[in-house]
Amino acid sequence: MQGLYPGCVSPVKTTLVVETDDAAFDLSTATAGRILARFADGQSATWEADLSDESATAITLTREHEAADVPAGTEGVVYLSAEVDIPAGTVRTNRMAATVLKL
């Protein structure tokens, strides 16, 4: 993942790889995916993501950022997780920490 900062835009992107070893979740059947962000100041965001490299056990989610994705005042730790829609339901990952840089 590249460094995030308020107002960042493409080519800055966030990429998360979702992996599972549970046969009940076939990620190759994914229909949509999102990256969920919880910023240090309490704000949250949902970023629709492009899906790629789909297999039964792994999928890649990529968000090419738009100016409104990372609001001003959100510098510090941001917690990211992924949601992937499959016919059996929605798979959600654990959160991971990243940093929103100061301009």
pLDDT digits (tens, 9 = 90+) for 34-66: 999 999 999 999 999 999 999 999 999 999 999
> Does the pTM of the predicted model rise above 0.85?
yes
Q: CA 61, CA 83: separation in Å to the nearest integer?
A: 9
Alpha carbon distance 98, 51 (integer Å): 21
- Between CA 6 and CA 75 the distance in angstroms is 7
Domains of the chain with bracketed CATH: 13-100 (2.60.40)
pLDDT of residue 7: 96
